[in-house]
Amino acid sequence: MDLKTVVRTIPDYPKAGIMFRDITTLLGDARAFRQAVDELVQPFAGQKIDKVAGIEARGFILGGACAHQLSAGFVPLRKKGKLPHKTIAVEYALEYGTDAMEMHEDACLAGERVLLIDDLIATGGTAEAAIKLLRQGGAVVEGACFVIDLPELGGAARLKAMGVPVSSLIAFEGH
C-alpha cells in the first residue's frame, strides 16, 4: 500500500500557506497503521533496542506500537509539567519563543540503546531537543524514525549532523 494515499492533507492549517499532513487517517486504517509500524521497525530488526522514545502526542501512538514490535520498553517525552515523577528537561526554540521537553530522570539507564519515533520531521527542532534529552539521560540514540519527512525544511539533515541515522516512510515536498 502507498502510505501517502492514506495521509490527509489539510490546506492552510494552522495558518495560510501551510499544508498540514494529518496521520490520523493512517492510524484509523488498520492495514496502513500495521504497515507503517512494520516499516518503521524493519531497519532495526535483529538489533538490540532497549527502549523506544516517543514524542508527545502522535509519537506515543507510533512509539508504543514500535516498542511492542521490538520487545523494548517505552519512554514518553512530554511537554513540561506533564510527568508525575522527578524529571530532566531540555529547552528548545520555537518559531516564537521557547518550549521545554521532559522525561523521567530514570527513564533510560546509561548506555541503553534507544530509538526515537515521531509522526513527522519538519525543521527538526523538537526531535533535536528529544535527542539531547535522551543523551542527557545516558541513552545511546540508535536512530530517529518518522512516518513523514518534509525535506525542504531540513530537519533530517539537522539530526544526521548530530550523528543520528534518520529514516522516514513518506516525503512531501513543500511545507
Q: Do the domain assignments include residue 108?
A: yes
Q: Do the domain assignments include residue 7?
A: no
Catalytic: 152?
no
Alpha-carbon distances of 74 from 1, 14, 105, 149, 165, rounded to whole Å? 28, 30, 14, 23, 20
pLDDT for 152: 94
Q: Do the domain assignments include residue 3?
A: no
Q: How many domains does the chain have?
A: 1
On the question of pLDDT at 174 being above 80, the answer is no
User: Which of 145, 138, 149 has its CA nearest to residue 164?
Assistant: 145
Q: Do the domain assignments include residue 148?
A: yes
Catalytic: 58?
yes
Set 8, 34, 39, 95: catalytic member: 95
Q: Do the domain assignments include residue 10?
A: no
Q: Do the domain assignments include residue 128?
A: yes
Q: Do the domain assignments include residue 56?
A: yes
CATH number for the domain that contains residue 107: 3.40.50.2020
Set 58, 102, 142, 158: catalytic member: 58
pLDDT for 173: 86
Task: List the domain range (segments joined by +) for residue 157.
Answer: 46-171
pLDDT for 106: 97
Residue 110: CB atoms within 10 A of its CB come to 8
pLDDT for 93: 86
Write out pLDDT tens, residues 123-152. Answer: 999 999 999 999 999 999 999 999 999 999
Q: What is the mean pLDDT of the chain?
A: 95
